[in-house]
Structure 1
């Protein structure tokens, strides 16, 4: 909140996303959780509010509260995170508003193509967190070879791979030089042949928790 105020950047030019944490899910806590977030940030609304994880017994109650928060203009858009096809199907059958976003772990080593296709079919924007697999695959020889071919870094190749599929990508870094590097991915395109090579790297490799274990 302090950074927003001190930046001098108009609020309308800043896109703010926050999440409903697992312990705050449920009809009795969801609204208060967002109100607390708004208070700490010193703002009147967030641009996107996400359910962080599909907690079994509370996710539908939480979503219904998000719909109310949307109608009350406390968030411009609502969505989910870590939802599988099963979770999304349940939600779509029991909701008035389609999630604007599904934010999930996504990179060539966890190429959730069926989930991506499902989201596209239902007009849910796919958003990739951990697009660099927490750096654990950054030295993969196939990635390195393709990066050398395009005169780019492995990180830029991984980010561009997702962008080629019309996915919103949110790489994370606290280092200025890395943030700048990660942004320089709009001056080239990966060929169809190389996209196929990158797609073939899928090995169901997760760096975060597996939501498919949640029924």
Structure 2
């Protein structure tokens, strides 16, 4: 598994496994298969309520803990109402881990996310997390955060796919060394994706699937991807993207699919109490 280096010097695999909304035996079996195939990066959150299963797999795996990259997230309700260090320590207890590799603010909850960031910086300094970052932050959220931050986010995890390319936000984050991580990188295989003539043509040209074309596009753009799948075939396919290369013209043709179309929530127009 190839890796990108984050702005604090640690490496993160370019493809990880998104675990929402998997739980129970399905999640355990999927993670075990993923590890067998070579995955080492797993994305979860307090809100997903699957820390116990993830911890069980990691702690029973033959793979050394330092070779696994675990990301979890601070939920909205915990931003508002609880001591963040205590929240993280509860998560670590459930996971059965001494630290997580990445701790993210899940959503930029107004009036709270700046205070939360200051507390995440302290968790980082205490060694409870190896890196810190944010999710779903627009440029204006990041500008506010950068004004008060002593440590810049290592990652901004956002919805990103050919229907929502987020080019201005990528450019802004690049200026500050903030790596982009794409969730829903396949746009949940929306009909617009499945029926895209450009993506179908490229898939035929390289004898790859449309998801592989998209994940390769992300990789060549320097974007980390965390697709979710329970399929063993898809698990294998999603990391088999290193034996072909998209040309500049092909990359631009995928960029041009953009419709600014979301399959998830807009951080400026959502109910944070329900997320």
Aligned equivalents of 1:95, 1:5: Cα separation in 2: 34
Matched, 1:71 2:125: yes
Assess if the C-alpha contact under 8 Å between 1:131 and 1:170 holds in 2.
yes
Matched, 1:109 2:163: yes
3-state SS, counterpart of residue 74 of structure 1: coil
TM-score after normalising by structure 1 = 0.96
Aligned equivalent of 1:45: 99
Matched, 1:127 2:181: yes
* Match for residue 17 of structure 1 among 71, 86, 92: 71
Aligned equivalent of 1:118: 172
State the 1:26 CA deviation.
4.2
Assess if the C-alpha contact under 8 Å between 1:26 and 1:59 holds in 2.
no
- Where has structure 1 moved over 6 Å in runs of 4 or more? none
Structure of greater relative contact order (alpha carbons < 8 Å, 6+ residues apart): 2
Aligned equivalents of 1:174, 1:94: Cα separation in 2: 40
State the 1:114 CA deviation.
0.4
Aligned equivalent of 2:247: 191
Deviations 1:151-194 (A, max 9, x none): 11000001111111111111111111101000000111111111
State the 1:27 CA deviation.
7.7
Deviations 1:59-97 (A, max 9, x none): 011111101110111000000000000000000001110
Assess if the C-alpha contact under 8 Å between 1:27 and 1:61 holds in 2.
no
Aligned equivalents of 1:98, 1:149: Cα separation in 2: 41
Assess if the C-alpha contact under 8 Å between 1:139 and 1:154 holds in 2.
no
Q: CA RMSD for the aligned pairs?
A: 1.2
Specify every segment of 5 or more residues in structure 1 that has no aligned partner in the other structure, as ranges.
none
Aligned equivalent of 1:158: 214
Specify every segment of 5 or more residues in structure 2 that has no aligned partner in the other structure, as ranges.
1-54, 271-275
Deviation larger for 31-40 or 49-58 = 31-40
3-state SS, counterpart of residue 122 of structure 2: helix
State the 1:213 CA deviation.
3.3
Aligned equivalent of 1:174: 230
Written as runs of structure 1 = structure 2, the 5 A alignment for 1:87-102 is: 87-102=141-156
* Match for residue 206 of structure 1 among 262, 269, 274: 262
